Structure 1
């Protein structure tokens, strides 16, 4: 259990830093200009925390864990990418389908980001865990 929590902590740190940079610096102007009034003035912190807790679990369970078992960095990268693609496509395409005014211009960018960020988080988590004996 300690090993799994350590892996989870690594994935949470990696994905948290990546997504924080993305949301706070890189994509902020794009989201502000394209989503405007759809964005909450203040984010729902409980919902954000719930997302990160669940999503990081998904990264560790569906990408990092199998990659470590197979000793395959490629599996971490590919599984993370597939998870990110499916998860972000689910959100973006559902939003496009049911939210009036959801900008289509955000969809491809956000799906690409989710794919890259999740693949990177899974790959880096795999690499760190392979180098730390207690996390193998």
Structure 2
């Protein structure tokens, strides 16, 4: 799972998420940040460096994260795995997920309050490719979580 390091105003943390849930998952919609539902749900789980180096893969759906463009504000979508440079990301030492073709662009939660999204306390936030040097690190610093035991660390 890819979890935002700063919980912002969500004590249950935020993670990179595919909109919808189970049979209502929306694979053509832009990815979002969402309150962590439960570790291990398919729409919140990612395989790093698969099927090729620097790709981020949703194994349940056979799709990779791809930026819509090399422009700030570009949405992040799911696409068939390809050799597109828009599917190549580095997880940096400071916790950014940066586009290889332009390392100042990376995953960031859009500023502002989240909107209610199912569940008793669940919030959703827009997620896009933003200029990291101009983005508050609390909105762009991520942690890769590999087990349910460590998702809150």
Alignment TM-score, normalising by the size of structure 2: 0.25
Q: Which has the higher contact order (CA 8 A, sep 6+)?
A: 1
- Looking at secondary structure, tell me which structure has more helix per residue: 1
Structure with max Cα Rg: 1
- Looking at secondary structure, tell me which structure has more strand per residue: 2
Alignment TM-score, normalising by the size of structure 1: 0.27
